[in-house]
Amino acid sequence: MPSKPPALIVWDSCCLIGLFNQEEDKAAGLTYELRECSEGRSALGIASASIGEVITLADGTPAYPVLEQFLDAPFLQILSSNREVGLLASKLGSRFDLRAQPEILQKAIDFGCPKDQKRLKSKDAEILATAIVYNAIRLTTYDPFLRFLGANFIQAEYGIAVDMPASTLLFP
């Protein structure tokens, strides 16, 4: 009988940078999630779409050798984009184009999103769709627009949290 699988947490690209750069507001939460994964309570998913967004190290050398090392973490699964991800990304991108939805756009601004962020861009949509399609329990991100959509639509419709790291979500 297969054992219960670890819950999947997917990281947005900003989490990779936030961890590697030890950003003050992010390092503790992200390290906490890594430890949860390392101890087998969760698994970490990285959308293949995220990997290419990290290009150069601060010393000017290419980032990929460091990324390769990280991607060898045994608790990590690279999540490929496939047909289902592509179709859902297209659907999300179309639905969350707020240029013709002024009321929702105003709510997004009130939530803290930049005024000029009026739609879900293709990379955002692909990463969000990846997390949904692979049945993640959360997409960890600090991006205000993704978090706004998570709080107002995605959590209710797809059952996935889209938010910053929060230990309470791992132990409901």
Partner 1 sequence: MARQFTAEEHLAGLTLTVRPINDPEKPVDAEDFLHAATRWLASLSSFAIDSGLDVRWEIAELKRSSAVLEVIPVDSTTGIIATSIASGWKTVVRQIEETGMAPDSLNPSTIREIEQFTSEANKLSMSITAGHDSISQHITVSTQKRMKEAVAALPNEEYVQEGTVRGSLAVLNSWNQDERWFRLRIPIAPEKQVRCSYSDESLISALGDTFERLVDVTGLMHYKKSEVWPYLVHVRSVRKVGSFSLDSFLQNLKPFNLPPGHDSVSYIRSMRDAE
Query: Which residues of the shown chain bind partner 1 in the complex (CB under 8 A)?
Result: 2-3, 5-6, 8, 12-23, 26, 31, 34-35, 38, 43, 45, 53-60, 63, 66, 69-70, 72-78, 80, 82-84, 114, 116-117, 121-124, 133-135, 142-144
Least Cβ distance, residue 4 to partner 1 (angstroms):
8
Locus of tokens 């980032």 = 63
Nearest Cα neighbor of 46 from 81, 84, 3 is: 81
Least Cβ distance, residue 107 to partner 1 (angstroms):
19
- C-alpha span between 66 and 85 (Å, rounded): 27
- C-alpha span between 23 and 26 (Å, rounded): 5
**55 versus 156: smaller Cβ distance to partner 1:** 55
**2 versus 172: smaller Cβ distance to partner 1:** 2
Least Cβ distance, residue 93 to partner 1 (angstroms):
11
Tokens in use for 24? 């003050």
Least Cβ distance, residue 45 to partner 1 (angstroms):
7
Quick one: angle between helices 83-95 and 122-133, nearest 10? 130
